[in-house]
């Protein structure tokens, strides 16, 4: 697989629910040691929610410098607002949003149409 991924940007958008840790960096590094990578987490459940995102929904991501522009372009293309959290070492920060999102869904009776949005003044 490493040969097929050589020179490609890998975007990890997997929520590893039930895994010992959410972070997939080690798995990606094993298969793609030489290429740029990014980790993107939406505060939206996958599938049908990407087909009809709520306006202003944020997708948080961490990325190697060489992968940032590609990630921002793809996130914008699916109708979400990209918010850069930091380089690839910030993956755990991005992943930490998943338990928060689950808690919000639970507090809203299981309604998965719950999202986070960053609002900046000025």
List pLDDT tens digits, range 34-90. Answer: 666 666 665 555 555 566 777 788 888 888 888 899 889 988 888 888 899 998 888
Beta bridge partners of 12: 39
Phi-psi region of 72 (alpha: psi -120 to 50; beta: other; left: phi over 0): alpha
Collapsing DSSP states into helix, strand and coil, what is residue 90?
Answer: helix
83 CB-contact burial (10 Å; exposed 0-12 / middle 13-18 / buried 19+): middle
Give the CATH superfamily of 2-107.
NAD(P)-binding Rossmann-like Domain (3.40.50.720)
More confident residue, 107 or 66: 107
């Amino acid at each position: 697989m490493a040969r097929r991924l050589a020179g490609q940007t890998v975007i990890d958008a997997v929520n590893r629910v039930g895994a010992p840790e959410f972070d997939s960096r080690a798995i990606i590094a094993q298969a793609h040691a030489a290429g740029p990578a990014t980790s993107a987490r939406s505060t939206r459940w996958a599938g049908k929610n990407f087909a009809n995102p709520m306006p202003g929904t944020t997708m948080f991501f961490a990325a190697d410098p060489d992968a940032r522009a590609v990630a921002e372009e793809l996130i914008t293309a699916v109708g979400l607002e990209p918010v850069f959290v930091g380089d690839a070492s910030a993956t755990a920060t991005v992943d930490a949003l998943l338990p928060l999102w689950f808690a919000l869904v639970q507090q809203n009776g299981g309604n998965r149409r719950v999202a986070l949005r960053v609002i900046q003044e000025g």
